[in-house]
Chains A and B, each alone.
Chain A
Amino acid sequence: MDPAVAIVWILRLTFLVLLYAVLVGVTRVLLRDLRAAAREPGSALGRLVVIASEVAEPRSATVFDLDAVATVGRDVNNTIVVDDPFASAEHAVLSFRGRAWYLEDLASTNGTYLNGQRLDGLAALAYGDELQVGRVRFRLERPRS
């Protein structure tokens, strides 16, 4: 075969192979994301651990598995009931949006604290952050997978 023709052939086929190389590369990224996503649903999205409590409910070391939304307050309808006069009836709400946790203070009388700072409105949380409602301190932890 004419070398010129052979080289054109090789170029052609290389181009096709490279198209597939891109596809394979992309697919690997997709699969990695899928595996990461597969771990999420079904299990809890995070855990709220009571690290210190001066009230009867919740007690220290209690662990709450968190769903997408968890409300915190004195009212019994809350997801996490803080039986403390220093807590408002509807005190704060924890929500998982996208891939991050958010904490919002619901205009509570005594305020919600995030890592020792009084929270003003909405803030994103990271795992390991400490929050305080009334006289109960929580730590947000990764879900057990």
Chain B
Amino acid sequence: MSCRLAGSGSDSNGPEADVLSSIAHRQASGWLGIRPRFRRRELGLLVLVAVALTVGSVSLGTTRELLAGEPLRLQVAQPAQLAVYLAALAVAHLAQVLAGRRTDQVLLPTVGLLGGIGLLLMERLPQDLAGSVFGDALGLAGAQLIWLVLAIAAIAVLAVVVRSDTWLRHYKYTWAAAGIGLLLLTFVLGQESNGALLTLRLGPISGQPTELLKVILVVFLAGYLSEFRPLLVEQSTRIGPLQLPPLPYLVPMVTMLAIAIGIVVIQRDLGAALLLFTVFLGLVYVATTRISYVLIGLVLFVLGSYVAYRLFGTVRVRVDIWLHPFVDASGDGYQIVQSLEAFARGGILGTGLGNGLPSVGGRLPIPAIHTDFPLAALGEELGLAGILAILGLYLIVIERGLRIATASADDFRALLATGLSMVVGVQAFIIAAGNLKLIPLTGITLPFISYGGSSLTANAVVVGLLLALSDQGVEPPPSPRPAGRDVHWPGRRRP
């Protein structure tokens, strides 16, 4: 370690100065004495997020009072819950400031706003929806707040603590095995909900393992594809006009497919299968830039879908509902018709928070509104304007993730960041498109907004890892080897 004195750079001199001072700070103070690094952009954005959420909460509280017939009084809906949530965001910010890492400054405020919108939504829904001992005691919003605080804590901890990726990089098969094990465990011990085998209950803790599975599989795929990327690109097996990947390397991919199909067959969870398969195809494409692999995957997907359509009643019903929801608007098509009507009632500007349908008569028109249809509820209350803003927030999370990927030092990190941002983006797309009747509806959560601990913590892990990956100044990637000695070197920045 060299001994260069600190203090030569100042934080305001642009990225290079940041680099310099970062290295300078660290080199001067070593690993233990961490110097704080102010995060001006994150702070500014978080303040804006806090203002937005407070106004939203006042809007909700005031509307509610008025609907209850009280005189006009500006009022925050749940002051304590809002305060706790904003405090959690502030603490996460401070933790990163103190850690002094140069991690991304946009992800936390963006995700914080999405989570906050979710919290406002949970505050305005009937509180008895939570449907568990824990949830019943705290109410829907109370339970969601606890999960949100845990999620933000997870983000902060991962962003501060994770300085090395070896634990992910070197144990990819272990992770894959853990994922499959989790799946098998769900198969054996899982509990059914809404016709899908989703919930794993171990003593007092219950959760939906597919949420965690998606992160594990991304870690595995990033490790596998980064290791075999050159081989997958260089060699191929030709069968007639088909250009297949080299056969020995097909095995893990086939395993992936098997897992996806297994999820459909065993758990009847179409959403998770679709998500995993899409992320898989996306990662294979990014690693190889071979469209033929994606096409093969799509053909397999279409075949698989057809077989599933023929074999499984659930699939057939879902597709029929999707094609003709209005035929049985009060029966099978009920949820989706209600969802579309909610979007329609919202129009362009929405009815305002707290002024949507569930306030009429206190009855919920959509049964799983807090898990599967939060976007429909938000579409009603925030209108098209709100929906576009929310879609924009997801795009920002994706953009950040992909930028972190392009700026990554090596293939593993690039693929990991790509996969993680795809997990969020594709999941948001699948459920939003389902709510909007663009694709058949699948029971999957809207990241950061839907009610539920598994979903929030899994997505928090995604964001935490992305934040950790975004800091390039601390842990160098494995040593690059000089010319002629080794097989490959990350492909980026080649003229």
Q: Which residues on A are within 8 Å of B, measured CB to CB?
A: 3-5, 7-9, 11-16, 18-23, 25-27, 29-30, 33, 36-37, 40-42, 45, 67-69, 71, 77-79, 90, 93, 95-100, 102, 104, 106, 114-115, 117, 119-120, 122-129, 142
Contact = CB atoms under 8 A, between A and B. Distances in A.
Given A11-B58, A26-B109, A98-B408, A124 B489 contact: no
Given A69-B483, A97-B477, A115-B4, A23 B389 contact: yes
Interface string B83-101: 0000000000000000000
Nearest to B482: A71
B483 A78 contact: yes
B106 interface: yes
Contacts, number: 175
Which secondary structure dominates where chain A touches chain B? mixed
Interface residues of B, number: 74
B44 to A, nearest CB: 7
21 contacts: A12-B352, A12-B353, A14-B55, A16-B386, A18-B55, A19-B389, A19-B390, A23-B389, A23-B392, A27-B396, A30-B396, A37-B406, A68-B493, A69-B483, A71-B483, A98-B407, A99-B15, A99-B472, A100-B19, A123-B1, A127-B20
Interface stretch (B46-54, B166-174, B184-192): B46-54
Contact of A18 (B41, B52, B403): B52
Interface of B: 1-4, 8-9, 14-16, 19-20, 23-24, 27, 41, 44-45, 48-49, 51-52, 55-56, 58-59, 62-63, 66, 71-72, 74, 105-106, 109-110, 113, 349-350, 352-353, 355, 382-383, 385-386, 389-390, 392-393, 396, 399-400, 403, 406-410, 472-473, 476-477, 479-484, 489-490, 492-495
A32 B218 CA distance: 29
B482 to A, nearest CB: 4
Given A77-B484, A97-B480, A114-B2, A15 B109 contact: no
Contacts of B408: 98
Given A11-B59, A126-B9, 16 more contacts: A4-B66, A4-B72, A7-B72, A11-B62, A15-B55, A19-B113, A20-B389, A29-B41, A30-B400, A42-B495, A68-B489, A93-B482, A97-B409, A99-B19, A100-B19, A100-B473
